[in-house]
Amino acid sequence: RPEMNLAAIALCLTVQAVELPRATMSEMAAVPLRQQAPRTIEQRWIFRSAAGDRRRFGGGATERQRAPLPKRRLVAAALLDSFTSDSSIELSPPDAAGAVGPRHVVGAYNTGVVVHDRGGAVLKRVTLAQFWFSNAAPGAFYDPRIVYDAEADRWVVMSILDERSVMLAISEDGDPAGAWRRWQIDERYADFSHLVLTADSIVAATTYWPSPHSIYFIVPRAEAYANPETLTATRIATLDAEATPVASDSGDELMIVADTERVSWRPIDGSEPWRAAELPDGWDSPDPELPQRDAKPLDGGHGRIENAVERNGWIYAVMTRAPIGSWNNAVVWCRIHRATGVAEWHFIDAPEHQSYGYPSLAIHGSGAMVIGFGIFSPFAYASSGYVYRTPFGVTSGVAIIRDGDAPVIVGDRWGDYTTTLADPLDGASFWSVQMHAKQGRFWETAWAKVALPGGRRRAARH
C-alpha cells in the first residue's frame, strides 16, 4: 500500500502457501498414531530472570499510587451449562482454543481437534499430527487456533509446526467433521499463534522468537473460500513484540500491544501512527507464578493482551496485571474508542491468596460480555471461571466453570491462552473453553455455555 509507514515495517511481501492434499476428518482419523513420551511444549521467548524475579514492562511503575477501583454492583451470575472436551497424560500445556457454529462446538488443543455437537457429544476427534498429516514433514504441531466464519459458514484452523512453519486449514463447508483444505507456509522460528477475522480478511499471526517481533499473514476471505489452487497471503513483519491482532467488524487489520504504562494500537500495515491510552496508576506487570495447592507454582504468562475485539469503533482488550504491592493477579480489560482514544478501564480483582490468569473475552453487538479465565490459589487446585457483564454495564461476581481436583505436576506450564466466544445464534449467549486440573491427567478442558435468562436482549448503546 503506498501510504504504508515503512519505518514501522520490517518486511512486507506476498507469499504462496504449499497446499497439502484435501482430506476429510475420517481420513485424518485413520492415520496411525505415533507413540511418544510425555513432554512439555516450550516457548523459548517467554522468560524470567535467573533469580525468578517478576519481569516488568516499564520503568518507574512501582512509584505510582494505585487509583481507586470503580464501584461495581454484583448481579446473579448467568446460567451455565458445561461439558468436558479433552484431557491428556502425554503433553502439556493444552492451549485451549475453540469455535462455535450453529450446529457444532469445536475445540482445538495441543492434543488435537475435537468436534462436538452443541449438546457436547463428540462427533470426531483427531490429533494435530493426524489433522495435518499428508506432506507435512515430521515434527511437533502446537499452538492451534480455530475461528468460525458465520457469514461464509466456514471454519479456519491454524497451528505452528516445529518453529518452522505456519499451518492454515479451511473447511470446505459448514461441517467441521467433513473435508478440509490445508496449506503450509514456511516461517523460520515461528512461535505462538493468533487467528482472527476482519470484515475482509483472515489474519494469522505468529512471533519470531530469537528477537521477538510479530509476523502477520493476511489472506482475503473471499479468495480463500473460493477453493483456490494456490493460497496467496500478504506477509507483514513488524518490529513490535507480542502485538495481538484484533478481531474486527471493520475492513482494517489492527494490532494492539500493552505494557505497564499504556495500551497502544495501529493498523498492521503501518498506514496510521500508533495511538495510545494510558493505564490507570497503581498497576504492575503480573506475577509470573500462579499458585496451586500441593505443588510448585504454575507459569503465569507475562502480561500480553490475550485477545482483542473491535465492535462499532470500540476496541475491547483483556490482560492480567497485579496491583502494586500485591502478588494477586487481576483481570484487567479496557474499552477504547479507536478514533478518539477515549478509554474505559475495568478490573476483576482476585480475593486474598487467589490469582487469575489467561483471560479471554467476547462481546455481542448488544454490549453483553463474558470474560473467562483460570483461578489459582495455594489452597486449591487450578480451576476456571467467568464473569458476565450485562448490556447496561453491570458485572456479575465470579462464577465457577470447573474446580480442579489435583495438583499439576508436569513442568510448570499451564497454557498460553483460553477462548471465549459470542454465540452466533443469538445476541445473549456465550461459550468459553477453559482449563482445570484433573486427577490422573495433566489437565482437562471444559466448554461452558453462558446465557442470561430471557434470551435475546434489546441492544443498548455502547
160, 192 contact by CB (below 8 A): yes
pLDDT, tens only, 91-146:
888 999 999 999 999 999 999 999 999 999 999 999 999 999 754 445 689 999 99
pLDDT, tens only, 16-37:
788 887 888 888 888 776 655 4
pLDDT, tens only, 28-64:
888 776 655 455 665 433 333 223 333 333 333 333 3
Give the residue from 455, 363, 357 showing the smallest Cα distance to 415: 357
Element (H, E) at 27: helix 25-29
The alpha helices in 232-320, defined as continuous H runs, are: none
Q: What is the pLDDT of residue 66?
A: 42
pLDDT, tens only, 377-386:
999 999 999 9
139, 132 contact by CB (below 8 A): no
Look at residue 248 and tell me whether its pLDDT is greater than 90. yes
CA distance 72 to 297: 31
SS (H, E, C) 59-90: CCHHHCCCCCCCCCCCCCCCEEEEEEEEEECC
Instruction: Quote the DSSP letter at residue 395.
Output: B
Burial class (CB in 10 A: 0-12, 13-18, 19+), 114: buried
Give the confidence band of 370 by pLDDT, cuts at 50, 70, 90.
very high
Confirm whether pTM is higher than 0.95: no
Give the residue from 401, 343, 416, 333 showing the smallest Cα distance to 369: 333
Where in 110-189 does DSSP place strands (E)?
A: 112-117, 122-127, 141-149, 154-161, 165-171, 179-186
**Which distant-in-sequence residues (6+ apart) come within 8 Å of 138 by Cβ?**
none
Give Cα separations from 399 to 91, 357, 394 (angstroms): 28, 15, 15
269, 1 contact by CB (below 8 A): yes
Stronger pLDDT, 43 or 363, i.e. the higher one: 363
402 beta partners: 384
